[in-house]
Chains A and B, each alone.
Chain A
Amino acid sequence: MASNKYQYELTYVISGVVQQNQVDDIVRKVNHLIESNDGDVLEVDEWGNQRLAYEIDRKRSGYYVNMYFKAPGPLIQRLERELQINDDVLRYLTLRMDAKMKRHYEKRKKREAREEKEEAEQAAEEEASEEDGGDE
């Protein structure tokens, strides 16, 4: 069973007029659907409310959610059906990640981890220099 799992990237846009608690509900529902069907959610990145490049159903803004997960193939059909039925979801895009995308993803992960580390180090340094008397 585990060998039939693939890695996917999913981005969906929830209508900007939906209340935050309803947005959280949708996100939770999607995550639950994946996890309760033998899938693993790797990362959920909520970009938040953004202006749409063009009007969709009279809406000018949308709440973007970008996520990565591992799941068996047949789940995607059911997941996309759920998103299609939900009127608050304006757009969705599911991509099965190939080797190139995975490498790109890993690279981004590594870069983010490094940046976080550097930031922490810089903050620590600044703190140390402040204690020394302010000069760098």
Chain B
Amino acid sequence: MANEDIDYEHIEYVDYKDTEFLEQFINNQGKILPRRVNSVPARVQRQITTAIKRARHLALLPYVSESIR
């Protein structure tokens, strides 16, 4: 899922407003993917987790996205 070309080591701050970026790290149900799938540094994974949770609170990202309509 994670793009190998992007240099995740040099990410200093993960912004909760950048939903396009955060969407890479959730599955189609809206769950946060584990680090072994995302393959990002632990420091960045922690920040992504917090950012996704903040975005969810503001309804920028879903808590649960209905896959079946």
Contact surface of A with B, Cβ cutoff 8 Å:
11, 13, 52-54, 56, 62, 64, 66, 90-91, 93, 95, 100-101, 103-104
| In the complex, chain B residues whose CB is within 8 Å of the CB of A52 | 59
| Max chain B C-beta neighbours (<10 A), residue from A54, A56, A62, A64 | A54
| In the complex, chain A residues whose CB is within 8 Å of the CB of B16 | 93
Contact surface of B with A, Cβ cutoff 8 Å:
12-13, 15-17, 54, 56-65
Chain A interface SS verdict (over half): strand
- The reply to whether B12 and A62 contact each other, CB–CB distance below 8 Å, is no
Instruction: Give complex CA distance A93, B56 in Å.
Output: 11
| In the complex, chain A residues whose CB is within 8 Å of the CB of B54 | 93, 95
Of A54, A91, A104, which one neighbours B12 at CB under 8 angstroms? Answer: A104
- The reply to whether A62 and B59 contact each other, CB–CB distance below 8 Å, is yes
